[in-house]
Amino acid sequence: MRLTNSTYHQKTQDKTDSELIALYKETNNTNYVGELFNRYHHLVFGVALKYLHHPDLAEDALLELFSRLFEQLQKYQIDDFKHWLLTVTRNYCLKYIKASSQTVAFENTHENIYSVDFMESEHQLDLLFENEKRIELLQLALAQLKPEQQQCVRMFYIDDRSYQYISDQTGFEVKKVKSYIQNGKRNLQLIMEQYKK
């Protein structure tokens, strides 16, 4: 019996990362890698954006990293895919930044980026994972703030804008902007504490 796309997708959704990798190695079916892409593309894009500060560069990094997965998953034993992928993403970005600042051809500087030797220690890996988890929690917490608080907090802390700039852009008085940021920050801390519990 032939599986429909939706049935097939449901079956892959139920698999763990390790199961998907094992199935891909066994069958060479790229749909299993596609499911991994669906699970983690937003995280990879987020990390790349954080380091590269430009959506187009982050998207290029995302596509480059996932295009190399087909070969890397066949080649290496990866026990914790999410940890590994986030570390590879960060390393890719750091290599890109270094290569760009030295105006060296990027193709000549990143060939060993995916090797096992290039991977960081377990301790550094855990720190990176914890940092990405905090970013995810922060995004969830931000979404729970009142719209005016969310807007002012994002512009002040994430976009690094001044009170006056935020006031000009939003139409809120400067005093109101300060109040929204102060209350938003306090509410964020409360929400984050609830998530941690």
66-75 per-position pLDDT tens digit: 888 888 888 8
Residue 130 and residue 90: Cα distance in Å, rounded? 14
Q: Are 177 and 152 in contact (CB under 8 A)?
A: yes
Could you give the count of Cα atoms lying within 13 Å of 131 in the half-sphere of its Cβ? 13
139-167 per-position pLDDT tens digit: 788 888 899 999 998 888 777 889 999 99
Q: Do domains 5-120 and 143-197 have the same CATH topology?
A: no
CATH class of segment(s) 143-197: mainly alpha
Mean pLDDT of the chain: 78
Residue 87 and residue 44: Cα distance in Å, rounded? 10
Q: Domain locations in the chain? A: 5-120, 143-197
- Sign of CA pseudo-dihedral 36, 41, 43, 47: positive
The angle that helices 163-170 and 174-196 make with each other, rounded to 10 degrees, is 100
Residue 69 and residue 82: Cα distance in Å, rounded? 13
**Is CATH 1.25.40 what the domain over 5-120 is classified as, yes or no?**
no
Q: Which residue has the tokens 């087909």?
A: 70
pTM of the model: 0.47
8-21 per-position pLDDT tens digit: 455 677 788 889 99
Closest CA to 130 of 189, 196, 188: 196
DSSP state of 146: -
Q: Which helix (H) or strand (E) holds 68?
A: helix 55-75
Higher pLDDT, 7 or 67: 67
Distances (CA, A) of 29 to 4, 26, 34: 16, 8, 9
